[in-house]
Amino acid sequence: MRVGFIGIGAMGRPMSRHVLEAGYELVVNDIRKEAAQELVSRGARWENTPKGVAQSCEVVLTSLPTPKDVEDVVYGERGLTAGWKKGDILVDMSTNSPAVIRKIAGEAQARGVEVLDAPVSGMVKGAESGRLSIMVGGKAEVLEKVRKILEAMGNVIVHVGDVGCGNIAKLINNMIAFGCSQITYEGMVLGAKAGIDVRTLREVLKNSSGTNDCVQNVLPSVFAGNFEPGFRINLALKDIGLALGMAKENAVPTPIGAAVEQRLLEAKASGLGEKSSHALILLLEKAVGIEVRTPQP
């Protein structure tokens, strides 16, 4: 089967590499041709436009930063719609708006094209290792047609409902994760200010009810002062905005989520937008005049 992959970024690069390594004939496209150079050197084929990818592939995967980027790839002058064939499948693995992907799915189905939304969790580390959690919305029978492709990228694949439900699950996951991270940063700064060794505090949290992914996997980067892009604050701000928009549409109060959004906005206004999301702790450190840093043991 020939598989297309559009969006060769921090996540898309290792994800598409796993598809290639699984034995699929891979066709790639990105706004920057140089982003796909390594894949092409490994045997992937470059296509200049999304239209070309759609024309040559039965299944196309997209991994893009924003809903607008997805719409541009689908509806642009040389977008996927210009190359779609009856029976094609689009799997959008971006963190997208449920409303946007449902609109795309409805219009695609009228042309005989099936759409799944399949956002992922696991960050770049999970993408590199092929151990992503993939949340799939869409028809179960369509998922079965592409399951082996998804299994090349992820070790946990959950069918969560109709098209759009994948992104509902992902946005809720991210909103919860951002909230857990923010309270973790507050606790670590409080601990440092109050006089406890932060590495010892982390060991307590790792084995207690306060543990979360930030405690388990992010704090080592904070301790080392590494705030270079992983999952950027600008992307986190996009995701929390989509989650809160969904909350408004459903009349669900989300005061904690709204507070986290304000912290992300503050970080962006402070010039931290392109830093990793755990750079949020820098705002707290500056406010109290202490840094949560410790040398490796």
What is the C-alpha R_g of the chain? 20
Q: Is residue 293 part of a domain?
A: no
Give me the pLDDT at residue 230, please. Answer: 80
Question: How, if at all, do strands 2-6 and 59-62 pair?
Answer: parallel
Give the chain's residues under pLDDT 70.
297
Neighbours of 80 (CB within 10 A): 29
Q: Is residue 295 part of a domain?
A: no
Q: Is residue 200 part of a domain?
A: yes
Q: Is residue 69 part of a domain?
A: yes
Range(s) of the domain holding residue 250? 168-288
Q: Is residue 189 part of a domain?
A: yes
Q: Do 113 and 188 lie in a common domain?
A: no
The CA distance from 174 to 97, in Å, is 13
pTM above 0.85, yes or no: yes
Closest CA to 102 of 56, 70, 145, 126: 70
Q: Do 117 and 190 lie in a common domain?
A: no
The CA distance from 80 to 84, in Å, is 6
* DSSP conformation letters of 200-251: HHHHHHHTSTT--HIIIIIHHHHHHT--SSSSBHHHHHHHHHHHHHHHHHTT
267 Cβ neighbours under 8 A, 6+ residues apart: 233, 273, 275, 279, 280, 282, 283
Q: Do 12 and 142 lie in a common domain?
A: yes
Active site residues: 170
Closest CA to 233 of 270, 258, 259: 270
**Domain total for the chain?**
2
DSSP state of 276: B
3 state DSSP class of 280: helix
Closest CA to 178 of 242, 131, 223: 242
DSSP state of 36: G
138 Cβ neighbours under 8 A, 6+ residues apart: 105, 114, 115, 116, 117, 118, 162, 163, 166
Kindly report, residue by residue over 138-179, the tens digit of the pLDDT. Answer: 999 999 999 999 999 999 999 999 999 999 999 999 999 999
The CA distance from 264 to 284, in Å, is 12
Give me the pLDDT at residue 295, please. Answer: 80
Q: Do 28 and 152 lie in a common domain?
A: yes
The CA distance from 96 to 117, in Å, is 8
CATH code, domain carrying 217? 1.10.1040.10
Task: Using the 3D structure, point to which of 138, 162, 186 is the last residue of a domain.
Answer: 162
